[in-house]
């Protein structure tokens, strides 16, 4: 298989030059790292992905994970990648040295895992989720729990999961009923069922450590009565041997895409012998879980961005190799005696490629921006800095989860279309990317939920402070652009778009103030789309400013055409995508109310 699934040059450009990783490295936490060592880490992950992930991309789709006799059977590569992710320090990359970690910046880990996502999105999450589960134990568990579970997880020997969803509750976590009954011995008896558990069981994991949301008997109703438990599939005994912990794999979910990444239905305590250990305080489980959720949401956006990147590279390669049709001549006809054109020469194909490029590289910049905010927040040296970057991160989280998922799917759709009929055929990878990426808008809170979060919580945070901070960041780039004759106009457009968003909010806010939250939030999805375009327009303008600057340098890292292509893609985004904010604003400010249920049901 082609190794061109990722544009490493652009990845490094965005990481080092646009988002200036170097600035992060001056922070105390990262003092033992330098650009060179981190670059080696990224290269090693690329080499690992070339060798152990990408070659199995198609095979894992064709031989999906499946349930058999109480366990789930996955592709053998799951074992290899888990173990090597442990050995290479991928799982432990960001943890403290004292917890067995490497204190690598989160931003660098995301850049590295993005390569893995692009190579074969079936595999990285086995390791990623294990890291997330370990992080919860490190953050909230006591030292004993840490000692028992964390080292085996960081080495990739044991897997880890997050168990939130239940059949009757879906995304509504206040309705979960999994029960935890305290015992005199200190542990809890757990009983209940969890569904959609990614990486929930497979034949290669010696053990799987489930982080389970459950309700302690007598706990308050709703989300304030939920606690967090470690519930291992096998419980470690004092002699370090393992004993079955009554965690049953009831079934799996067969999916349209990402078929090599298993999704399971688990039953806890069917024989009344399932033990769980409380992590952190009683009834604080949801808050604790949500501390991890930011990382999980960045990871979903990153995964989608990686898939879209791989799809773009595949369709670009096809467009550069496939001859078909001819250029129109001045009479509007084609001359059949002329040589065929490559399809990349047709404007409509170019439009589909540039749309992909703008979404794919913009998404990558967005993922690394959110990761940078995360790094600054976790290493903040002042309360002011901490507060600022907490708000910026909170603001960007629903967008970094959603934009790569939604627009990424659109990018892949265009990539498939570039191949014509072949795009629909299983001999080509585009249809697999098309199926795989579709889960991203569902994972870890659907687009609907993210949009409610953006408009309902994040925009109103501290009376709009988060949005104000984000706007200030955007304005900095607009000001930088304003000194350049070619870029100035784009800055002005972006500024207008930002102003119009304020007008939209001025229109909506009174509904919230009057307590009509249903109306306030009814078109949250459209607002999400609006703000995503603003943020992407900003990130492209930022890339344009940097590229323009580099072009005026005599010594530059990349070729002239490399920088020019970034400016060109920025122009594409401003011509074809940014104008959509106008129609979105019109819909958002319309007085027509059609999606709120009144007395009659019109949806037949």
Min dist CB 449 to a second copy, Å, is 9
Q: Is 169 exposed, middle or buried (0-12, 13-18, 19+ CB in 10 A)?
A: middle
User: Is 4 or 147 the residue whose CB approaches a second copy more closely?
Assistant: 4
Q: What is the DSSP string of 447-459?
A: HHHHHHIIIIIIT
Decide whether 232 or 415 has the Cβ nearer to a second copy: 415
> Residue 115 or 230: which CB sits closer to a second copy?
115
Which residues, listed in sequence order, are joined to residue 213 by a DSSP beta bridge? Answer: 228
Q: Between 25 and 412, name the residue whose CB sits nearer to a second copy.
A: 412
Task: Output the smallest distance, CB 255 to a second copy, in A.
Answer: 5
β 227-232/275-278 pair status: antiparallel
Nearer to a second copy, 172 or 203 (CB): 172
Burial of 154 (0-12, 13-18, 19+ CB in 10 A): buried
In the residue annotation, 62 being an active-site residue is answered as no
Residue 162 pairs in a beta bridge with: 211
Smallest separation, CB 421 to a second copy (Å): 5
Q: How far is the CB of 402 from a second copy (least distance, A)?
A: 12
Catalytic one of 444, 529, 542, 550: 444
Give the nearer residue to a second copy in terms of CB position, either 205 or 418: 418
Closest CB to a second copy among residues 236, 456: 456
Task: Say if CB 260 and CB 74 are below 8 A apart.
Answer: yes
Contact 146, 179 (CB under 8 A): no
Residue 234: exposure state from Cβ atoms within 10 A (0-12, 13-18, ≥19) = middle
Q: Which helix (H) or strand (E) holds 528?
A: helix 524-551
Least separation in angstroms between residue 147's CB and a second copy is 35
* Rounded Cα distance, 439 and 412, in Å: 13
Q: Are 258 and 436 in contact (CB under 8 A)?
A: yes
| Total number of residues shown for the chain | 604
Residues 197-231: b if buried by 16+ CB within 10 A, e if exposed: bbbbbbebbebbbbbbbbbbeebeeebebbbbbbb
Q: Say how far apart CA 478 and CA 493 lie, in whole Å.
A: 9
CA distance 107 to 123: 20
Q: How far is the CB of 446 from a second copy (least distance, A)?
A: 6
CB of 346 to a second copy, least distance (A): 8
Catalytic residue numbers, as ranges: 444
């Amino acid at each position: 298989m082609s190794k061109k699934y990722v544009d490493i040059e652009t990845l490094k450009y965005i990481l080092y030059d646009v988002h200036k990783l170097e600035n992060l490295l001056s922070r105390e936490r990262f003092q033992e790292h330098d650009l060179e060592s981190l670059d080696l880490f990224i290269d090693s992950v690329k080499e690992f992905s070339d060798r152990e992930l990408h070659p199995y991309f198609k095979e894992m789709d064709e031989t999906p994970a499946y349930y058999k006799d109480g366990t789930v059977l996955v592709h053998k590569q799951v074992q290899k990648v888990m173990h090597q992710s442990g050995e290479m320090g991928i799982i432990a990359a960001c943890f403290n040295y004292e917890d067995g970690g490497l204190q690598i910046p989160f931003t660098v880990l995301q850049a590295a895992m993005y390569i893995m996502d692009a190579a074969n999105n079936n595999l990285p999450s086995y390791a990623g989720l294990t890291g997330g589960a370990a992080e919860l134990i490190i953050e909230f568990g006591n030292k004993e729990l840490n000692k028992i579970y964390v080292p085996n997880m960081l080495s990739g020997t044991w897997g880890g999961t997050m168990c939130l969803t239940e059949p009757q509750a879906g995304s509504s976590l206040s309705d979960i009923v999994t029960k935890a009954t305290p015992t005199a011995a200190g542990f809890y008896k757990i009983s209940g069922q969890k569904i959609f558990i990614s990486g929930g069981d497979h034949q290669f994991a010696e053990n799987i450590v489930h982080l389970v949301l459950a309700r302690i008997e007598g706990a308050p109703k709703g989300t304030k009565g939920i606690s967090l438990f470690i519930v291992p599939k096998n419980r470690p005994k004092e002699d370090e041997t393992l004993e079955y912990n009554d965690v049953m794999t009831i079934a799996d979910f067969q999916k349209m895409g990402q078929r090599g990444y298993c999704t399971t239905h688990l039953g806890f305590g069917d024989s009344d012998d399932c033990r769980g250990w409380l992590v952190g305080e009683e009834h604080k489980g949801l808050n604790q879980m949500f501390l991890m959720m930011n990382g999980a949401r960045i990871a979903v956006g990153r995964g989608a961005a990686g898939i879209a990147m791989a799809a773009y590279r595949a369709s670009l390669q096809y467009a550069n190799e496939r001859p078909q049709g001819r250029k129109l001549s001045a009479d509007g006809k084609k001359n059949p005696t002329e040589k065929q054109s490559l399809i990349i020469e047709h404007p409509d194909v170019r439009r589909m490629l540039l749309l992909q490029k703008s979404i794919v590289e913009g998404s990558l910049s967005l993922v690394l921006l959110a990761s940078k905010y995360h790094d600054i927040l976790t290493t903040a040296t002042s309360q002011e800095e901490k507060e600022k970057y907490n708000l910026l991160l909170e603001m960007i989280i629903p967008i970094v989860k959603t934009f790569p998922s939604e627009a990424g799917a659109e990018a892949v759709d265009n990539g498939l279309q570039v191949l014509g009929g072949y795009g629909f055929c299983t001999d080509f990878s585009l249809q697999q990317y098309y199926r795989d990426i579709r889960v991203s808008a569902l994972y870890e809170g659907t687009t609907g939920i993210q949009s409610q979060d953006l408009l309902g919580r994040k925009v109103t945070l501290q009376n709009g402070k988060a949005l104000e901070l984000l706007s200030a960041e955007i304005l900095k780039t607009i000001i930088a652009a304003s000194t350049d004759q070619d870029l100035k106009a784009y800055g002005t457009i972006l500024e207008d778009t930002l102003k119009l968003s304020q007008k939209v909010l001025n229109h909506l806010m009174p509904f919230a103030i009057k307590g009509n939250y249903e109306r306030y939030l009814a078109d949250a999805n459209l607002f999400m789309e609006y703000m995503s375009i603003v943020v992407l327009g900003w990130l492209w303008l930022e890339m344009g400013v940097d590229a323009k600057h580099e072009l005026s340098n005599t010594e530059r890292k990349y070729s002239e055409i490399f920088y020019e292509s970034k400016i060109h893609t920025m122009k594409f985004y401003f011509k074809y995508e940014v104008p959509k904010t106008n129609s979105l604003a019109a819909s958002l400010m319309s007085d027509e109310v059609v999606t709120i249920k009144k007395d009659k049901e019109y949806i037949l």
